[in-house]
Structure 1
Amino acid sequence: MTAAAIPHAEVIGDPIAHSKSPLIHGFWLEKLGIAGRYGKSLVHGPDLGAFLEGRRQDALWRGCNVTVPHKQAVMPFLDRIDPVARRIGAVNTVVHDGDHLVGHNTDAAGFLEPLLPLLATRHLYRMARILGAGGAARAVAHALAGEGFTLVIAARKLEQAEALAAEIEGVDTHVATLDHFARPTDFAFDDREGILDIVVNTTPLGMTGQPPLPFDYSHVPPGALIYDIVYAPLETALLGEARARGLVVVDGLAMLIGQAAAAFRLFFGQPAPRQYDAELRALLTA
């Protein structure tokens, strides 16, 4: 079988050069001895439909991961959308199933994966402050709502936060602007015993080449967990300050690897070899 005649998948976005997905999937393919490859393609918004139609004609194309800014824009070009992705309103994985393109969302499961030990514990109350209202934020908000969190959703424009909050059912939701969290507050937090507080950055702010995330730690309850889905750099300013304050942190590689593992199974029909996670992390951070 030639290199061109093997099952293949890829990640698409704009920009895409920074993506670590090819390294992750390539690592797993090699460990499992699967004849396959995984690449990346720069796809501009106006070309998205034509790109997918072209890939549809390739019987060996297993699908693609979808990153910014296409997670919502891709949906009209798909034949079916998985119920989880439909509920979230964003697709990060497209699977080529026969003649059909099927949209999935593995971001939600990938986001929750490092939190599962905490979520296995009962809490008196759970609250999450979610910074951002884009495609990743949608997955995070729905995932945390499913775990019984009260949500505070903050976006650059209040109407963006309001639109996402209106879609979340079954839990209390509140909205704010990102500017609100950039300004100091003198709010006096009450006793947080038995309470799980999480602050999540789902914006690209703090990523290499982006402005820093303006955030004042007076908004963080004592003992909160700080989760930044940015993975380049791995240690963002948000996480660096959290560590300095003695808070528990989760970095962006946790979600990246978790969502990639779910997508890998969809593309290549086998579970990712997670016993090599430590080796993979070392490779990703080299």
Structure 2
Amino acid sequence: MILTAKAAVAGVMGWPVGHSRSPRLHGWWLDHHGIDGAYIPLAVPPDRITEAIRALPALGLRGANVTVPHKEAALRACDHVDPVARRVGAVNTLVVGADGSIEGRNTDGFGFMANLTADRPDWRAASGPAVVLGAGGAARAILVALADAGAPEIRLLNRTASRAEGLAAELGGPIKVIPWEDRAAALAEAALVVNTTTQGMGGQPALDLALDRLPPSALVTDIVYTPLHTPLLTAAAERGNPVVDGLGMLLHQARPGFEAWFGRMPEVTPELRRFVLESL
């Protein structure tokens, strides 16, 4: 559609930003709902991220998503930060208020949980222990989301044990650090397995994880979505475990930002998934 002078504009800040699927995703929603708006890529070098964020109100933007490597720096540039983003220690969504103030939010955990429940409506975090592999930025958001959703125990494993221990000490709650070499045994009685590492991504080695101890009812998910069906998900599906791919997390985490900027909470549909998959 043709934009008017009153068009609502948002974007995504990253360095680089050309790989981001967000303009395609938000553009589809804008077209689908007939909204007078635009969503644009904003290539911002790391040494100018604070300046770029503070310029959003003057430029008339409603806000922006923030992707690597800016998520932690963005938190420090905001006037207000929501409690979830504060606990996660990173911001992925910026919302410009009517008074020109900038609020930082983190919707990664929302996207993760919404992806699981949309695909497996009967699954509940409280149904049993969760096993989380990796202790990077995505893991932080997922750990907070699982704890808030009532997971009775979260078994955290990372190749560098000190990083996992530091994360567990910082976040608290039901997180229990388990040595990486005990990862196969950690699957016993688990209700959920989450891979947040890059292992299994295209060009990376597959995750070395034997699933023999994993209950057949346990849900297995991977936040990687290139390829859509990682070796972990393929192996889990072959033994009968329910699996959820990582594309839905990308799609669902975008919904709260779209609502804040453009006034409508969008849905994740099969048509949208196909449209985004065409660009992968």
Q: TM-score range by the shorter chain?
A: 0.7 to 0.9
Listed as ranges, the matches of 1:104-143 within 5 Å are 104-116=105-117, 117-119=121-123, 123=127, 126-143=128-145
221-230 or 39-48, larger mean C-alpha shift: 39-48
Give the corresponding residue for 1:76.
76
Label 1:262 to 1:237 Cα distance change in 2 as closer, same or farther (>3 A).
same
Label 1:18 to 1:176 Cα distance change in 2 as closer, same or farther (>3 A).
farther
Label 1:35 to 1:20 Cα distance change in 2 as closer, same or farther (>3 A).
same
Identity of aligned residues (%): 41
Query: Counting strand residues as a fraction of each chain, which structure ranks higher?
Result: 1
1:164 partnered with 2:158: no
Q: Give secondary structure in 2 for the equivalent of 1:38.
A: strand
Label 1:24 to 1:177 Cα distance change in 2 as closer, same or farther (>3 A).
farther
CA distance in 1, matches of 2:186, 2:111: 33
CA distance in 2, matches of 1:142, 1:46: 29
TM-score normalised to the size of structure 1? 0.84
CA distance in 2, matches of 1:101, 1:122: 35
Q: Is the Cα contact below 8 Å between 1:65 and 1:92 reproduced in 2?
A: yes
Q: Is the Cα contact below 8 Å between 1:7 and 1:36 reproduced in 2?
A: yes
> Structure 2: which amino acid aligns with 1:85?
A
Listed as ranges, the matches of 1:1-286 within 5 Å are 6-59=7-60, 61-97=61-97, 98-116=99-117, 117-119=121-123, 123=127, 126-149=128-151, 150-171=153-174, 173-176=175-178, 178=180, 181=183, 185=184, 187=185, 192=189, 197-209=191-203, 211-218=204-211, 221-223=214-216, 224-272=218-266, 274=267, 277-286=269-278
TM-score normalised to the size of structure 2? 0.86
Q: Is the Cα contact below 8 Å between 1:212 and 1:237 reproduced in 2?
A: no
How many residues of Structure 1 are paired with residues of Structure 2 in the alignment?
A: 271
How far has the Cα of 1:242 moved from its partner? Answer: 2.0
Query: 1:157-207 CA deviation, whole Å, 9 max, x = no partner?
Result: 222111211133432x222455654xxx5x4976x4xxx521112233333
Instruction: Provide the aligned C-alpha RMSD in A.
Output: 2.5
Unaligned residue ranges in structure 2 (runs of 5+): none
CA distance in 2, matches of 1:279, 1:135: 29
How far has the Cα of 1:119 moved from its partner? Answer: 4.1
Label 1:189 to 1:65 Cα distance change in 2 as closer, same or farther (>3 A).
closer
